[in-house]
Amino acid sequence: MTQLMLIDGQQRLTTITLLIIALARYAKSHPERELDFTFDEIMSLGYLVNKYKKGDNHYTLTLSQGDRASLRSLTDNLENEDVEIVSDSKLLLDNLSFFEGLVEAIEDPNVVWNGIQMLEVVSVSLTQGLDNPQLIFESMNSTGKSLTSADLIRNYVLMGHPQQDELYRTYWRPIEETLGPSSYSDIFDEFVRNWLTVIYAPETLTRRNIYQTFKRYFESSGYGSTRPVENLLKELGRYARYYADITGGRHDDKEVGRMLALIRQLGFSVATPLLMSILDDYGQGAFDRNDLLLMLSFVESYLFRRAVCDCPTNSLNKFFPSLIGKLNHVQVEGELDYAKAFCTFLLEPAGTKRRFPSNAEFFDRLITRDAYHFPYSLHLLSRLENSLYPKNERDFTSGAYTIEHIMPQNALAHAEWRQMMGDPDEEMFELLLHNLGNLTLTAYNSELSDGTFEEKKSRAVGGYDVEWIAISSELKDATEWTPESIDGRARRLARMALQTWPIPEIAEETRRELEQEKVKKRTHKVVPVSFKDLFNAGLLREGDVLFSTHPRWEGTATVTPRGTMRLSNGEEFTSPSSAVVRLFRLRGASSKSANGWQYLSLGKGGPKLIDIRDRFRESQDDK
C-alpha cells in the first residue's frame, strides 16, 4: 500500500466513503434483498479498510484530526458492532444519516452501487522538489467553487514544511478549535481580514483578495526563510483567541468579557480590528486593566451614541484602521499615555461624520426620536435598568422581557386615554407613543396589553405597582399618565444615559501635547536619519554591540561591516525598530511595533540610539 497525501479531492472522497458506509450498513441489515453488492464484499475489497494491515494503514481514507476519530469509528463499528461510534464530527454523522435515509427510500439501491463503479478518478502525481503543490492546489478548483481562504492559507503555510503534521497538531488545529470546529471555515476569512487590518493599519483592506494580502505579508515578513513559520502560527493563534472573545462576548476576565458582550450586542463588526489591537497591546503590557475597561466602555459609548444619533457607519471602515495606526505610533514614540491618547483620538473628528456625539446631541436625540422602532431599543432600556444595580444585573436578552408601551398603541380607541393625553391628533399621538418616556420593560406584555392606566398599575401579576423595574419607578406613585409625564420620564432616562454611555474627558495637557506634536510635524522639516547614516558618519562601528534596555526583553545586536544589525540567530536588519521587534519576539514577546531607537543603547548602560541620532541631526543642522 502506497500512502499519498491528498492536495485536492478530500471532500469528494469523504462523501463517497460515507455513501459506501451507508450501502454497507444497508446490505448488512437487509440480507433478504438481492443486491449487486454484499457487506463482506465491501469490507474485503479495500473500499473502506485493508483487513491485512493495522494502525494507520488499516484505513483506506484518513482525515485530519477534527474528523479522523469519527470516520475511523464508523468503519471500526462495521467490523465490530461493540465499537462505540465517536461523535466528535457532527457533520460526518449528519451526512451519513442523510445518505442512509436516501438509500432506504430508493427502490433499487443497486443503482447507487453501479453508479459508484462507473466513477472515474484523475490522479495527478507530483515530483518532490520540482513541482509546487501549492500552485497546483490554487489552480485545480479555479473553474469550480472557489476554495476558501482557510483552505488556501492553511496549505500555503503548511504544505511542503517538513514538520507539517506537527505544525497542524500544535498550532493550526487549536486555531480551528478556537474559532469553532463547525463554523471555522465560514468565519476564517473574516477573522483573517480583521487580523490583516491590524497588521496593515492604517491601510484599509477590502474583503476581496484576502489570500493574496496574506501571501504578501508572509513573504515580506520573511516567514519560511529568515523567520520560522511557528512564529506566524503563534500570532494567528493569539489573534484567533481575541477574535473568539470579541465575537463571543467573553473573556477570562469577567468584567472585560461583560464589556465585550455589550459591544457585540451592538453588532458593529467594523470595530473588531480595533478591539483585537487593543487586546493585544494590553497583553503586551502597554496599559493596565483599568485603562482597558475604560477604553472598552468608550468604544461602546462611541458606537451606541452614533447609533442613537443616526450617524453614518461607512466612514468607520477607514477611521478605525487609522486609529490603530495612531496608537501604534504612540507606542513607538513612547512619549504619550496610551489610554489618554486613545480617548483623544476618538474625540478628534468633532463636527465630522466620524464624530463622537456630544452630550447635547445625544440627549436631544434620546428625548425626541422614535425609540420603539430603534434597532437597539432593548439594549437601551436594559442597559439603563442594569446601570442602577451593576453588581446584580438581570438578563433581558433571553426573550422573557419585551418592550411595553405604557400608553398602549390603541389608546385613541379609549376615552380615558384620550382625555388623559389631551385628545392629541394622530401625529402628536405617534410622537408620544414611541417616545423613550413611554417605553418600559415587562415580562407580562400580553397581560397588560391595552388596559387603562389604572388597570395596568393594579394588575396582581405584572402590574406597575408590583413589578419592580427601576427605570419605571415613577409609575408606582403616579395617578395619571400625561404628555408631561412622558416628557419628564424621557428626560430623566436621557440624563441616566449620559452617565451610562459617557464621553471621554480629555485633560487639556494631553490635548496640548498632541497638538504640539502636530505643529512640530507641520512646521519643522525633520531630516530623516537612518541607522546606516550613523554608521557612515563613524558614530557606530563594526563590532559595536547594541543592548536592549527593555526591563523584560533582554538581548543584543552586533553592528556588521555593512552597517546593519545582526541578531544572535544570524538575522540582519537595517531598521532599529524592526530589529527590536524581532529581538523581543525571540524572547517570547509578541509585539507588533516597538521603538528601536529608544530601546537600543550603544554598549551596556551607554547612550541610546535616539540620543546618538539627535546629536547627529543637530550637527547636520549646524552645517
Cα dist from 36 to 105, 114, 117, 449, 479, whole Å: 17, 8, 11, 67, 84
Query: pLDDT of 13-58, one tens digit each?
Result: 999 999 999 999 999 999 888 899 999 999 998 899 998 888 888 9
Are the CB atoms for 279 and 303 separated by under 8 Å? no
Compute how many other C-beta atoms are within 10 angstroms of the C-beta atom of residue 145: 7
To the question of pTM greater than 0.75 for the whole model, the response is no
Average pLDDT, the chain: 86
pLDDT-derived band at 616 (thresholds 50, 70, 90) equals confident
CB count in 10 Å sphere of residue 168: 20
> How far from 70 is each of 18, 45, 64, 420, CA to CA, in Å?
11, 22, 11, 68
Structural contact between residues 330 and 336, judged by C-beta atoms closer than 8 angstroms? yes
Identity of the amino acid at 558: T
Q: How confident is the model at residue 137 (pLDDT cuts 50, 70, 90)?
A: low
Q: Where are the beta strands (DSSP E) in 123-253?
A: none
Cell 433499487 belongs to: 108
pLDDT in tens, 493-519: 999 999 999 999 875 566 566 555 554
Q: What are the residue ranges of helices labelled H in 271-376?
A: 272-283, 289-308, 316-333, 338-347, 359-368
Distance of CA 254 to the CA centre of its chain: 18
What dihedral angle (degrees, nearest 10) is formed by the CA atoms of 464, 466, 472, 477?
80
Question: What is the structure's pLDDT at 146?
Answer: 63
Query: Does the pLDDT at position 254 exceed 50?
Result: yes
Question: What is the side-by-side order of every strand in the sheet holding 572-573?
Answer: 572-573, 565-567, 556-559, 545-548, 600-602
How many degrees, rounded to 5, is the angle at CA 321 between CA 357 and CA 233?
140
CA 140 – CA 143 distance, rounded (Å): 8
Q: Is the pLDDT of residue 532 over 70?
A: yes
* Residue type present at position 563: G
pLDDT at residue 141 tops 60: no
At 524, the pLDDT band (50, 70, 90 cuts) reads very low
Compute CA distances 576 → 4, 228, 493, whole Å: 46, 20, 54
Letter string b/e over residues 567-581, b meaning 16 or more CB atoms within 10 A of that residue's CB: beeebebeebbbbbb
